[in-house]
Every structure is written in structure tokens, then in C-alpha cells.
Structure 1
Amino acid sequence: MAENEGAPRRMQTIPPYVKAVSGSIGGIVEASCLQPIDVIKTRLQLDRSGAYKGIVHCGSTIIRTEGVRALWKGLTPFATHLTLKYALRMGSNAVFQSAFKDPETGALSNRARILSGFGAGVTEALVIVTPFEVVKIRLQQQKGLAPDLLKYKGPIHCAQMIIREDGILGLWAGAAPTVMRNGTNQAAMFTAKNAFDKILWRKHEGDGIILQPWQSMISGFLAGTAGPICTGPFDVVKTRLMAQSKSGGEPKYKGMIHAIRTIYAEEGLRALWKGLLPRLMRIPPGQAIMWAVADQITGFYERHHTHQVPL
């Protein structure tokens, strides 16, 4: 506590590449643990006939009819997607924060933190998230494990088929709701994570303090809860737009607004939050796992390579 008293101190910045590495490693661990919940979420969001009665029924039905391995469908693109997404998210957020920081004090206002998070979310949505999620969702919506009965044989074959049938832009189906979802999510998540670290643990970035993994998990879990509730409709619409293919005739949904209106008219308001519970089961725990790993890496860097400089 004595270090925080007396003359004001300027916190040194952690380089973007350190943030990127910490995020990518955290993404690998998260994907390996939480893939089954993501498969269940996708199946629930694509269910228009009420075939699944809930999370447990959906999971048990998949296991009974398709085998346990089906709960890890799409793992390769999902793990690659999370690794690259978190690397880009953490790295680009650090770049945006550096641009928005006060040049003299190094301070970052709450408004600048929100804008940095939103910018990172938009960047990851356009560069990484949309094409990888299109492939992942196409793989996850397939039922069964027999290769001869599956349209898509794997992630690369799936991507090739999408490009052949829908053109290169087919890999960016649902880009608009994805941008809105990720931009809003990351603006809230980075701001909330920083706030919880300060409130709960008195941790300030660059102060050299390394949080315990359980502390990072609590902050990450709490920061990851608000986004899914606020962005549920964007996530449902994203999934529906990504799942449809032009090869089946005229697409049912023409775009983000048309999809929202159609889902509301045909299935009711609650349908726009389909899959919310499995999202809440996946995203907050996922953020807890990712931050527990990432904070250890950035904390190690802080302890060995940064120090507080008097202003």
C-alpha cells in the first residue's frame, strides 16, 4: 500500500504482443473445456420445431443418437477460432488503449476504455470471428457421425463448399449482428474486468501485482455475465444467418433486421434469447478460464519487466 502513497506514479504499459500471447493460450484452454456447451447452444438456437426440451435434454439426445464425440463437433475450428480471436482481441485492445491514453500520465478514462473494447470487438468480428463461426455452425448443425451422410467432411472441406456454393462472402454471413454482438460484448467485458479487479483486489494494470488464478476467475466470470443478456438477439440472428446456405434455394432471412422481425413474428419475443442459458453456462466460465491463464502471463511480465515511474 505504501507504494500508492505520496507522489503519483505512472503505470508502465504491457506491450500488445504480451497481451496477444496471453489471450491465445487462454483461448486454447477455454476451448478444450467448454466445447460441448457451445454445441448444445448452437443446436438449441437452430431448433425451430421444439425437438429439444432444454440443455440437459439436448445434450442427452445428442449423446444417445450421435455418440459422446458429437459434443466436440467443430472443435478444431472452435479452438483455432478462440486462439486467434483472443490473440487479436487482447492485442488490438492494447493498441487502442495506447492510442487513447493520456500521453503525460498514461491514464485511461472509462470512455476510452469502452471505445477500446468496442474497437477490439469489431476488429475480431470482421477478421476472425465471422468466417470461423460460419464454418463451426455449419459443422455443428449436421446430425450424425457417419462421414458418408455428412455434407461437410471437416472444417477445410466446409469452407471450400461454402465458397463454392455461396461465394467468398458466404464466409462472412451474419457479419452485421456479429459486429454488434462482439463490439458491445468487449466494450462491457474489458471495462467490467478492470473495474472488478480494482474493486475486489485493488489491482491496477502495470502495478506489478499478480492476481491469484481464483481471483482472476472471479473477476472474469463477473465481467462475462452481462454481455450474453444484452446481446442475445444478435447471437441468435448471427447463428441463423450463418447456418443458412444458398444451395437450398432462396435464403429465409435477408439480413439482420429482417431476421429479427421474422423470428419475432413466427416464434415470439422469447425466441430472440434462445440458447441464453447455455451461453451463460459457457461465456462467463470461459472468461474465468481465459483470464486465469492470461493474467498469470501478463502478471509475470509485469513483475519482471515493468516498474512504476514517478511523474
Structure 2
Amino acid sequence: MSSNQTSIPTLPQDQGSLRAIKDCAAGSVGGILQVLVGQPFDTVKVKLQTAVPVSLPGSPAPSGSPLLLAFRGVSQDGWTAFYRGTSTPLVGVGMCVSIQFLVLESMKRRLAQRNQAQGSVSTDLSGGQLFLAGATAGLANSVVSGPVEHIRTRLQIQSNENRIYQGPWDAIQKIYKRNGLPGLYKAQGVTALREFQGYGIYFAAYESLVQRECARSGRVREDLGTLEVCAYGAAAGYAMWISMYPIDLVKSRMQTDGWTAKDRQFTSAIDCTRQIWAQSGFRGFWKGLTPCLLRAAPANAVTFLGFEWAMRQLN
């Protein structure tokens, strides 16, 4: 096998279907590991993103860094609070990552076949083609990730004393009963933009690193070691989050905003962006970045490690 899976030739229909099943299964392994490792960091990140500074006359400001205060706020409800809302992403993110890798691998094969039809002797894809494959995977993923992220975010900002939803299913029922399907897909436009940008960079970074190393060392993809896969996954995670973090922050603010004109803070994503800039300037779009970057390395390392390991077992 070549240094990149894009060298896979046109497959008969039955083999193509089997390939899709393998891509989905391997993606699920990566997605489940991503949630188990990354959820505590994500909970703190959302707490920081959605926190609105409140200054009351005569009230002393809480002492400590915002990160430490957010950590304390979550930990007051016990260690399980770091995994609040986990059942939704455990199923949903597993499905999302399955979709991501299914579409990614399909796009890589199609683009490689097109390159070969045009006379290319290389099996590697260009950076632009890898971005296109990843961005397409992100858009496909957004159909599932939109409501999954919304429910998870709503549950993450709750405290034990101020609980509106008793769990993921209760949240889904209550939101759907009051606002219908559009309620579950709140801020979907921003989510789709985030997925397109973020996963385009994400997969382009990872696949480019894999292609370069295989070309340099003369090895095939399956020969890459655990540390190499983890390092490339971590680097891809950093590239993704740094490129899309401001969009993610706007998404979190929009998804946790009120439902009616009376209690709604933002009228649109553009209005949300303007208000963040007016209140906090450039720095306002990077609130919660520290726990996000702390999460990026281990969560994305195990995502690709799980995917690559599962593919080797299934092939």
C-alpha cells in the first residue's frame, strides 16, 4: 500500500460499501476516545466562553484567574460535573467522527482518481485538495454536530442549583416541544461555517504531515508509529482550533442565548460578533482558549490513534 490511502483505485460496489463500513467503524473508535479524553476540558472551555462579567456595586470581584474560577465552578458540583452532558456527545460525536472519516476517505479516493485520470504519477493530494476533502467532511458532519453541540453546551453551563434540563433526552424533548426542529439546530449557520473552516484545516494538516513523513522515510502509512500518529493528531488539533476558535466562541454564545425577544441577547451571529467586539475587543474572541488548547493535544491525538489502529485491525 502506498504512503497515503488516496492511492486506492476504483473499487467494485460491494468493496466500496465494505470500505465505507470500515471507515465509519474506525471513525467511531476515534470519536469515542475523543469524548472520553476531551470532555472535561470542553466543559471548562464552554463555561469560560459563555460567562458574562457582572459587576455589582459593593460586591468584591472574585479572585483568581478566569480559568481557575471556571475550574472551581465546575468542580463544586463534584468531579462528575466535568462529564455533564457526556452521553449526548459520546453517541453524537462518535457518529460525527464516523461521518467525518467516511466523507474524508471517499473524497480522498475521488480526488486521487481524478488526479490519476489527468496523468498524475503521484498518489499524494495537494494541500488545497486535502482542505477541500476535510471541509466537505466538516459540512457533512455539521448536520449531526449542530444539535449535538447545542444540547451538550446547554447541559454544560447548568449547575446543580440551577438545573433546567435533567439530561440530554429531557433537553431534546423540552427544546423540541417549545421550538421545534429549528430550536435543536440553533446557530446552525455558525456551526456549519465552523465545521467547514476547522475541519478543512484539521485534515489538511494531519494528512499533509503523514504524506510528508511517508515520502521522506519511504514507509507506508501503516508503518507509522504510535508517537508519530499522536504527534500529527495533536498538531492537527492545534491548527484546527486556532483557525476556528473565534467562530466557535460565537457559536457557543448563540447556542446558549435566550429563546424569546425578551430574553435574547443577540439577534444574529453578526450582532453577536459586534457585541463581543464592543465589550472585549479582540481578546474577547479568545476567552476559554487555554483549556481548549490543553484539550487539543490529547483529544485529537487519541482520535487519530483510534482511527488508524481500528483501520489496521479491519484491513
- State the TM-score, normalized to the length of structure 2: 0.84
Partner of 2:145: 129
- Where does the alignment leave 5 or more consecutive residues of structure 2 unmatched? 10-15, 55-61, 118-122
Query: 93-102 or 263-272, which moves further after superposition?
Result: 93-102
Contact kept, 8 Å, 1:174 with 1:237, in 2: the verdict is no
Give the Cα separation in 2 of the matches to 1:24 and 1:280: 23
Say if 2:39 is the partner of 1:35.
yes
Deviation at 1:124, TM superposition (A): 0.6
Contact kept, 8 Å, 1:174 with 1:242, in 2: the verdict is yes
- Where does the alignment leave 5 or more consecutive residues of structure 1 unmatched? 5-9, 305-311
Deviation at 1:116, TM superposition (A): 1.1
Deviation at 1:210, TM superposition (A): 3.4
Deviation at 1:208, TM superposition (A): 6.1
Contact kept, 8 Å, 1:211 with 1:299, in 2: the verdict is no
Amino acid at match of 1:121: G
CA distances 1:143-199 after superposition (whole Å, capped 9, x unpaired): 12x6xx521011011011111222210111111221111111111111111121133
Say if 2:33 is the partner of 1:20.
no
Amino acid at match of 2:66: G
Partner of 2:49: 45
Partner of 1:112: 129
Query: 225-234 or 206-215, which moves further after superposition?
Result: 206-215
Contact kept, 8 Å, 1:211 with 1:296, in 2: the verdict is no
Give the Cα separation in 1 of the matches to 2:27 and 2:79: 29
Partner of 1:309: none
Give the paired residue count.
Answer: 290
- 1:225-240 equivalences under 5 Å are 225-240=238-253
Which of 54, 76, 84 aligns to 2:66? It is 54
- 1:64-213 equivalences under 5 Å are 65-103=76-114, 105=116, 107=123, 108-125=125-142, 127-144=143-160, 149-202=162-215, 207=220, 209-213=222-226
Partner of 1:224: 237
Percentage of identical aligned residues: 22
Give the Cα separation in 1 of the matches to 2:237 and 2:221: 24
Contact kept, 8 Å, 1:189 with 1:223, in 2: the verdict is yes
CA distances 1:200-243 after superposition (whole Å, capped 9, x unpaired): 35489x94633222211011111111121121211011001111
Give the Cα separation in 1 of the matches to 2:177 and 2:93: 25
CA separation of 1:129/1:203 partners in 2, compared to 1, >3 Å: closer, same or farther?
A: farther
